Amino acid sequence: MRLVLDVNVWISGLLWQGVPRQIIDLARSGAVTVFVSEPILSELEEVLVRSKFQSKMRSLGVSSQDLLCLVRQLSQVCVPVEVNVPNLRDPDDAVILGTAIAAKAMLLVSGDLDLLVLEEFVGIPILTPAKFLDIFIQKSP
């Protein structure tokens, strides 16, 4: 299953336990294929260096560069296509949608309400991590 994870899902999964971590574990095991783009990686890097995440990373014994390296190992990089989405509440989210199209993703997983209100984009469902996991578990033998 081809997925694109929003930056908020990566952050939650890399730094904490819970559903986003389970999705990252699925990527680690090869059960899903996660795609990213350089703009997503850049945003992830910008977010990881924020002061609010520094104590958590210290407690885990990792740096932002360690986490970025892990994301690169767990995902395939693609070049996002440009999209024009006039009803997008946050225009910065267009790169996530463009990455999903370029990756031929089956799903986009996000905790961002600005994306979730769309429900789908050009046939690609946009789901919360919990909803994705529910569907994935139901489809698994």
pLDDT in tens, the chain (141 residues): 999 999 999 999 999 999 999 999 999 999 999 999 999 999 999 999 999 999 999 999 999 999 999 999 999 999 999 998 888 888 889 999 999 999 999 999 999 999 999 999 999 999 999 999 998 888 766
The domain limits of the chain are 2-139
Q: Token match 């370029």: residue?
A: 102
First to last CA, the chain: 14
CATH number at 2-139: 3.40.50.1010
* pTM (whole model) above 0.85: yes
Question: Does the CA dihedral 3-64-112-17 come out positive or negative?
Answer: positive
Q: Token match 């996530």: residue?
A: 96
- 14 exposure class (CB count in 10 Å sphere: 0-12, 13-18, 19+): buried
